């Protein structure tokens, strides 16, 4: 057989084994991080809106 074909097969086997051992995506953790990020963004927007509205009342 050709050396290039053997190396290609070996690389494919190594990549397949690495994907089984080390998953590239963890959907549970990723979803949790996105949810926490969304909650933080909503809280910050609410905080900024309340600060803007509280400043308007003092000027009158």
Task: Record the pTM.
Answer: 0.52
Rounded Cα distance, 4 and 58, in Å: 77
Rounded Cα distance, 30 and 24, in Å: 11
Per-residue pLDDT of 24-60, as tens digits, reads: 667 788 889 999 999 999 999 999 999 999 877 665 5
Per-residue pLDDT of 5-31, as tens digits, reads: 888 888 888 877 766 655 666 778 888
């Amino acid at each position: 057989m050709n050396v290039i074909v053997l190396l290609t097969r070996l690389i494919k086997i190594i990549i397949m084994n690495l994907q089984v051992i080390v998953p590239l995506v963890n959907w549970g953790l990723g979803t949790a991080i996105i949810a926490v990020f969304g909650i933080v963004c909503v809280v910050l927007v609410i905080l900024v809106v309340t600060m803007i509205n509280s400043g308007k009342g003092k000027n009158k």
